Amino acid sequence: MLDDYSLRLLAEIGIEVYVPRTAVAAPAVQSAAHQAHDKPQAGVAAGSSVPPAPAAGASTILIVCSEARHGRLLDDLLRGLRMAGLDAAMADISRLEAVAAARGLLILGETLMRMLGAGIPAQRQNEMDWIISSEPAVLAGSAEAKRSLWGEIKRLSRAQAKHRAGG
């Protein structure tokens, strides 16, 4: 049988887990597997398939993007970061102190990178992990840009795992 974490990951990517009727624990497993789909979740935007980040405090990784019209791309990025074991959420650019408090940033576009670089103190910039990627329009249409971004996400995931382990 799958544990709760595996069932939650499968539910996030849209896979429903079916359990044979002969299984003894079928009602408990089935209810856990469908929990994400049956209950409306607070904080999920209309049309968004990405559940909200775990409520463990401030998000570890914030995605900073100026263009909200790339909803599917942003949903995929959130889902990918969470599947890589990272606590991720969308950033509100108007709240610079919240962005500066994050452990890591995924910035989509050099213009935003310059703006955030000017607004966040240099010492704090050295403490946090950064990923600077192409603009969302370029990222959506370029396989090379996507490969580069996912390679950086893997690097960030390893750095965050090392940080959680205390190293």
What domains are defined for the chain? 4-38 (no CATH), 61-164 (3.40.470.10)
What does the alpha-carbon distance between residue 161 and residue 167 come to, in Å, rounded to a whole number? 9
In this structure, what token pair is assigned to residue 24? Answer: 């003894």
> Is the model's pTM score more than 0.75?
no
Rounded Cα distance, 58 and 53, in Å: 10
State the virtual CA torsion across 135, 140, 143, 149 in degrees, nearest 10.
50
Angle at 63 between CA 111 and CA 97, to 5 degrees: 80
Q: Are strands 104-108 and 129-133 parallel, antiparallel or unpaired?
A: parallel
pLDDT tens sequence for the chain (167 residues)? 578 888 888 888 878 777 666 644 444 444 443 443 443 333 334 444 444 444 333 458 888 888 767 788 888 889 889 888 888 888 888 888 888 888 889 999 888 888 888 888 989 988 888 899 988 888 888 899 989 999 999 988 888 888 777 76
Tokens of 65: 């993007």
Rg (CA), the chain: 18
